[in-house]
Amino acid sequence: MSLVPFHRVLIASAIAFFLAFAVWEVRAFLADRAAASLVAAAASAVVALLLAVYLRRLRSFLKLPPGRPVRPRP
C-alpha cells in the first residue's frame, strides 16, 4: 500500500492552513499595526510557498519514475 496519495493530501492541507494563517495575520496587522503580525504573515506565506514547491516536486524527492501514476503493489 502506497502512502503517497495520503501524503499529497496532507501537504495540500498544510499549504491551505499556512495561507489561511497568513491572511489572518495580515488582517490582524491591518487592525493593530503590530509588526509581529506582519512577520508571522510573511513567514507563513514563505512556508506555504516552500510546501507548494515540495508538493510539485514530490516525485523527484521520492525518486519515483516520471509520468506514471503511483499505485500500490498487489
Predicted confidence at residue 73, as pLDDT, reads 60
- Residue showing cell 496587522: 29
Answer whether residue 70 is part of any domain. Answer: no
Q: What is the DSSP letter of 64?
A: P
Answer whether residue 9 is part of any domain. Answer: no
The number of domains in the chain is 1
The secondary structure of 8-68 as a DSSP string is: HHHHHHHHHHHHHHHHHHHHHHHHH--HHHHHHHHHHHHHHHHHHHHHHTHHHHTTPPTTS
Answer whether residue 56 is part of any domain. Answer: yes
Domain that holds residue 57: 17-61
Cell numbers given for 19: 495561507
Answer whether residue 39 is part of any domain. Answer: yes
- Residue showing cell 496532507: 10
pLDDT tens string 6-65: 999 999 999 999 999 999 999 999 999 999 999 999 999 999 999 999 999 988 888 877
Answer whether residue 51 is part of any domain. Answer: yes
Which residues contact residue 52 at a Cβ distance below 8 angstroms, ignoring those fewer than 6 apart? 15
